[in-house]
């Protein structure tokens, strides 16, 4: 049996590029926490490991070996990414599997890319 | 006379998308601070205001009016964005002008976009 958690709304799926018209205060307050969640090298590596993993998803059991960190510390970082709307998660048996939320990453990319043209 | 400051190397101009192969620890440690610099709603609005401003650049004197913040606070946020390689700055007469570093934003976008496909 698989249990799919209720997924938070992707905070970044909203906005025009930063170079188009200025972000409103409300938009900036919605997006900044998502960028902040990614603004940590362990969390950035976790996102990257998950996205690059076979099938685009990874079990916590696959991730631990890449870090010199305790399991609770890794779980705390994964929760921050999940709460920011950057990961989906699904429990299968005893393990939790994580998948990158492509639309959230894509929206952030579009936001930043507007200025790079 | 105009004085162009020495511009820090864009920290994000380096990497393959997060979904390609996993970021190395060194790559993640170089990129995370750039995302962290953007992970603040005031700094995100500053980037957006500068990028969307006429000619793609803005004077500090143009930015103050959009915030209920003191000039030193705004200058501190601008310095964080500059130190992260996200802004160029140029002094002209008594004012400092800021411009978004398109290549740094573009690199971050490319990094994040790989997962959104």
Residue A45 · residue A78 · CB < 8 Å: no
CA A18/CA A20 separation, integer angstroms: 6
Check if CATH label 1.10.1740.10 holds for domain B24-113.
Answer: no
Q: Where are the domains of chain A?
A: 24-113
Residue B86 · residue B47 · CB < 8 Å: yes
Q: Does A92 touch chain B (CB under 8 A)?
A: no
Q: Does A55 touch chain B (CB under 8 A)?
A: no
Q: Does B28 touch chain A (CB under 8 A)?
A: yes
Residue A53 · residue B21 · CB < 8 Å: no
CA A88 to chain centroid, in Å, comes to 8
Task: Give the closest of B19, B35, B66 to A35, CB-based.
Answer: B35
Taking only the tens place, the pLDDT of each residue in B27-53 is 999 999 999 999 999 999 999 999 999
Taking only the tens place, the pLDDT of each residue in B61-103 is 889 888 999 999 999 999 999 999 999 999 999 989 999 998 8
DSSP conformation letters of A22-71? PPPHHHHHHHHHHHHHHSSHHHHHHHHHHHHSGGGEEEHHHHGGG-SS-H
A8 DSSP assignment: P
Taking only the tens place, the pLDDT of each residue in A22-40 is 899 999 999 999 999 999 9
- Confidence (pTM): 0.82
ipTM over 0.90: no
């Amino acid at each position: 049996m698989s249990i799919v958690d209720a997924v938070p709304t992707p905070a970044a799926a909203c906005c025009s590029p930063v170079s188009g018209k200025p972000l409103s205060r409300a938009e900036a307050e919605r997006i900044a926490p998502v960028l902040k969640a990614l603004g940590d090298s362990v969390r950035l590596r976790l996102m990257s490991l998950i996205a690059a993993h076979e099938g685009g998803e990874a079990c916590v059991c696959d991730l631990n070996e890449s870090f010199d960190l305790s399991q609770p510390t890794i779980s705390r970082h994964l929760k921050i990414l999940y709460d920011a709307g950057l990961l989906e998660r699904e429990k299968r048996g005893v393990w939790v599997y994580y998948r990158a939320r492509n639309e959230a990453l894509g929206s952030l990319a579009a936001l930043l890319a507007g200025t790079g043209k």
